[in-house]
Structure 1
Amino acid sequence: MNRRLGYASALALTIAPLLALSATTAEAQRRGGNPAREQPQQEVPPPPQQDKTFPMGASWAAVSLNGKPIGTMRATLQVDANLRGTGFGGCNTFSASAYPLRQQGFAVGPIALTKRSCDKGVSDFERSFLVALRAARNWDLVQGRLVLKGGGGELIFDRAL
């Protein structure tokens, strides 16, 4: 008889957890839930955002300076693989060190400029353009446009040929 009780006890110990699980499953299904979902799930963090790659070697034409369209003025920028920024400011050509940094940072070194004489409106535009370029601290690509922002304002460029 002890032997039968031993088997019965072992069988009861084995079956009891299965019956409890079955009862939990049946209760969850009756409530319209899923027992697997009843347990709290760990949140999965979103994948880290990858840094954008600065478009080296691309030519850009300015279309906006501090939120205002440039209109008939013309200004350009190109940053080559040697981290040299070159372009046209409206009257003169320029050259400067231009460093795209991590996390879309941007640094422009001192600007070397030709010394052509231009009318006051063009000279004023060029000065504002070069100040905004020199003070740029961040860059971004937004809808195919290059955006440079910093203490001197915001420059928006379209891709040029």
Structure 2
Amino acid sequence: MRAGAVLAAVAAALLGASSAQAQINNDPGMLRGNEAGGKSSAVPQQKEKQFPVGSSWAAISLNDKTYPIGPSRPYFTLDSQFQLRGFGGCNTFSATAYPLRSQGFAVSPFAMTRRSCGPQIDAAERAFMLALRMVQKWDLVKGQLVLQGMSGTIRADRSL
């Protein structure tokens, strides 16, 4: 009789332990160390910025050197299919570009027309295209798009 009572006590203890474990598994608050029904102590996540897909941008500076307003000012758009299209100052271009997590950015090699617009404009276009191709990070600062990479920083304003 005593053996039966001991077995019943052990079975009840095991059943109670599995019930408590089931409660912990079903209550996410318990997994964080909170008591059932208590408030969450999780740190709020900062919402990640979304790249402004579909907007047109006119370059205003490269490495703090201002682009003059005029026909050779570079501009570009990234559409919802991640096609980057634009004008480098003399030639039109297209590429595939991907906004990445943590405001990263990756640009494929360019397809580009091959006009020449004179040594000064061609050099400015090469510098812009190299900076755009090497972009690694982006941000929106006071309404401007800032693209940063190993070859420089491009600042751009929204355009029509």
Report the TM-score, using the length of structure 1 for normalisation.
0.71
Q: Quote the Cα distance in structure 1 between the aligned partners of 2:131 and 2:105.
A: 12
Q: Deviations over 1:10-52 (max 9, x none)?
A: xxxxxxxxxxxxxxxxxxxxxxxxxxxxxxxxxx675221110
Q: Quote the Cα distance in structure 2 between the aligned partners of 1:60 and 1:46.
A: 35
1:109 alignment counterpart: 108
Q: Quote the Cα distance in structure 1 between the aligned partners of 2:77 and 2:113.
A: 17
Q: Deviations over 1:90-119 (max 9, x none)?
A: 000000011001110000000111011210
Q: Quote the Cα distance in structure 2 between the aligned partners of 1:62 and 1:55.
A: 15
**Matches for 1:71-150 after TM superposition, within 5 Å:** 71-72=68-69, 73-150=72-149
**Matches for 1:13-24 after TM superposition, within 5 Å:** none
Q: Quote the Cα distance in structure 2 between the aligned partners of 1:120 and 1:88.
A: 17
1:57 alignment counterpart: 54
Q: Quote the Cα distance in structure 1 between the aligned partners of 2:155 and 2:81.
A: 23
Q: CA RMSD in A?
A: 1.2
Aligned length: 118
Q: Which amino acid aligns with 1:125?
A: A
Q: Which consecutive residues of structure 2, in runs of 5 or more, have no partner in the other structure?
A: 1-40
Q: Quote the Cα distance in structure 2 between the aligned partners of 1:69 and 1:84.
A: 26
Runs (4+) of structure 1 exceeding 6 A deviation are none
2:65 to 44, 62, 68: 68
Q: Which amino acid aligns with 2:111?
A: A
Please tell me whether Structure 1 or Structure 2 has the larger radius of gyration of its CA atoms: 1
Report the TM-score, using the length of structure 2 for normalisation.
0.71
Q: Quote the Cα distance in structure 1 between the aligned partners of 2:43 and 2:138.
A: 24
Q: Quote the Cα distance in structure 1 between the aligned partners of 2:110 and 2:155.
A: 19
Q: Quote the Cα distance in structure 2 between the aligned partners of 1:101 and 1:77.
A: 18
Q: Which consecutive residues of structure 1, in runs of 5 or more, have no partner in the other structure?
A: 1-43
1:38 alignment counterpart: none
Deviation of the 1:57 alpha carbon = 0.6
